[in-house]
Structure 1
Amino acid sequence: MSKTRSSLGRTVAAHAVLGLYTVIALFPVFIVVINSFKSRKAIFGDPLAIPTPETFDLVGYTTVLAQGDFFLYFQNSLVVTVASLFFVLLFGAMAAFALSEYRFRGNTLMGLYLAIGIMIPIRLGTVAILDLMVASGLVNTLTALVLVYTAQGLPLAVFILSEFMRGISDDLKNAGRIDGLSEYRIFFTLVLPLVRPAMATVAVFSMIPIWNDLWFPLILAPSEATKTVTLGSQVFIGQFVTNWNAVLAALSLAILPVLVLYLIFSRQLIRGITAGAVK
């Protein structure tokens, strides 16, 4: 009984801490959104105030929709993010299953090699990546961004998923083998459903850097047809003058898909984060 109460207490505490962090994290988002509906004078006069009939102004949104092809930028960001997350989760889960399930020479070294990718930023290889994309003819394509972001997200995905997969019962997998299931069937039908919280955690932590990234879209895909939302919003930031109404409006619109994806994964994310607290 006392153990159950202790587990329940840890779970409640974990939810409370997560809720507090969520409020702190969303406060800057709230400031951006409310200021996107205000006039320029009101933004600088009282940035923390809620829009009133006197300060309410949609000039930022009209500017964003009138200049450039914002919907194309939006579509590009969505395609790159969803495709990258799909490949990160698929290949990351496969690699994690192989490392956690099969014992072979170099298993530990392979895991350490993949973990190095978490510690070494991929941007250090920007010049080599650009040369590779130029040689492959992938510059100014969304494929280049998907490949880079997939490589960027795989180390973290393998690291997290392998730990969860080691906790899956061997009896369950051996029972599937006795029933004649192939390793692929065991992976897709038995293992993946049990690590959905971990996959949601990986998806949430991977999608934010992909969606908000400016570095690789600026270097690998700066053309008008392949611009992302983050890169497209830079048109409103000048060397001497910045259209803050348009910048805040563009950022507010860019927040929506990330918020939707977070709501989709939030239930599984909380289960993944609190998994260790209820054992």
Structure 2
Amino acid sequence: MNILPRKLKISWLIVHLLLIAYSITVVYPAILVIFNSFKSTQEIFSSPYGLPKSFSFINYVNAWNEANFGVYFKNSVFVTLVSVFLVLLVASLAAYVLARFKFKGSFVIFFVFLLGLMLPIRLAIIPLYILVRDLGLLDTYTGLILVYVASGLSFSIFILYTFFKSIPEEMVEAAKIEGANSFQIYYKIMLPLVRPALSTVAIFNFMSFWNDFFFPYILIKDEALYTVPVGITSFFGEYTTDWSLLFAGLALSIIPVLIVFFVMSKQFIEGLTAGAIK
């Protein structure tokens, strides 16, 4: 009688130990970056794993003002927020139509979107670069934002389509009886019901766009338009590197991701676990 509970306890103990070990491997580098951001370059080399002698914010001030990190940070915030908003808008509209309306070719359109999950957009970087160049969108926010929106649509539509599909048809019929049109049903009924999915899509895309180095490096050559991942590379000198400014910049770049996750963590977890518990 006690064998099964004992095995379950052992299994749960192993799972928790693995999760703790994984958490340490994820959190420790971030803590190390934060501690080193308060040190001078000399102190980083002499004591890379120790606590800083003093918690001075001079490195952050210098990184923000003298190393142009403030410009890179503002560029990333603008590009990322606009891209996430457009992905949520376009993906939610497309998923709503594909999930709730039946018309000729709807499955083909949905399948085309799913192809984006199987074929990474980076494989098409040469024709993509030529397209952006011919449209005159190189070295512009617009070109980078459009590429981000295109890269995020497949995953976002796939997630939102599943949630829209799971909403009972009776709710839609009741809204139609009350006189609501299709857009009102989408805006006032559907979107509030799929809020966990919207949060999941927003967080995944925010992290992807914020941390992306590849597309800004290819499509942006004007340093005034650099985003954080590309801008940080300017901290590396040809012969020397100011590691104190580099770690301060890395610490600053972590803050928006943490803020977004903590603000939307409840909805994010609900989105991931939806359907797992009845």
- Which category describes the TM-score, using the shorter chain as reference length? 0.7 to 0.9
Partners of 2:148 and 2:214 in 1: how far apart?
11
Q: Which runs of 5+ in 2 are unaligned?
A: 1-14
Distance change in 2, residues 1:94/1:232 (3 Å): same
Partners of 2:104 and 2:16 in 1: how far apart?
41
* Counterpart residue type for residue 51 of structure 1: P
- Deviation for aligned residue 1:200: 0.4
Partners of 2:100 and 2:16 in 1: how far apart?
32
- SS of the aligned residue for 2:254 comes to helix
- Deviation for aligned residue 1:131: 1.5
* Counterpart residue type for residue 128 of structure 1: P
State the match for 2:158 in structure 1: 159
* Counterpart residue type for residue 76 of structure 2: S
- Deviation for aligned residue 1:266: 1.0
State the match for 2:131 in structure 1: 132
Distance change in 2, residues 1:160/1:251 (3 Å): same
State the match for 1:43 in structure 2: 44
Kindly report the root-mean-square deviation, in angstroms, between the aligned alpha carbons of the 2 structures: 2.4
- SS of the aligned residue for 1:201 comes to helix
Distance change in 2, residues 1:20/1:81 (3 Å): farther
State the match for 1:82 in structure 2: 81
- Deviation for aligned residue 1:261: 1.5
- SS of the aligned residue for 2:104 comes to coil
CA-to-aligned-CA distance 1:147-166 (integer Å, 9 cap, x gap): 01000110000001111111
* Counterpart residue type for residue 115 of structure 1: L
Partners of 2:107 and 2:122 in 1: how far apart?
26
1:1-279 counterparts in 2 under 5 A?
A: 24-53=25-54, 60-279=59-278
Distance change in 2, residues 1:228/1:185 (3 Å): same
CA-to-aligned-CA distance 1:27-67 (integer Å, 9 cap, x gap): 322221111112324333443322234xx565643442343
Partners of 2:42 and 2:56 in 1: how far apart?
10
Q: Percent identity?
A: 39
State the match for 1:7 in structure 2: none
Partners of 1:84 and 1:146 within 8 A in 2: yes
* Counterpart residue type for residue 203 of structure 1: A
Partners of 1:214 and 1:208 in 2: how far apart?
12
Partners of 2:22 and 2:114 in 1: how far apart?
27
Partners of 1:88 and 1:157 within 8 A in 2: yes
Partners of 1:112 and 1:184 in 2: how far apart?
24
* Counterpart residue type for residue 205 of structure 1: F
Aligned length: 264
- SS of the aligned residue for 1:277 comes to coil
Partners of 1:181 and 1:141 in 2: how far apart?
40
Partners of 1:21 and 1:89 in 2: how far apart?
31
TM-score, normalised by the number of residues in structure 1: 0.86
Partners of 2:228 and 2:110 in 1: how far apart?
35
Partners of 2:67 and 2:235 within 8 A in 1: no
- SS of the aligned residue for 1:276 comes to coil
Q: Which runs of 5+ in 1 are unaligned?
A: 1-13
- Deviation for aligned residue 1:269: 0.4
- Deviation for aligned residue 1:19: 8.8
TM-score, normalised by the number of residues in structure 2: 0.86
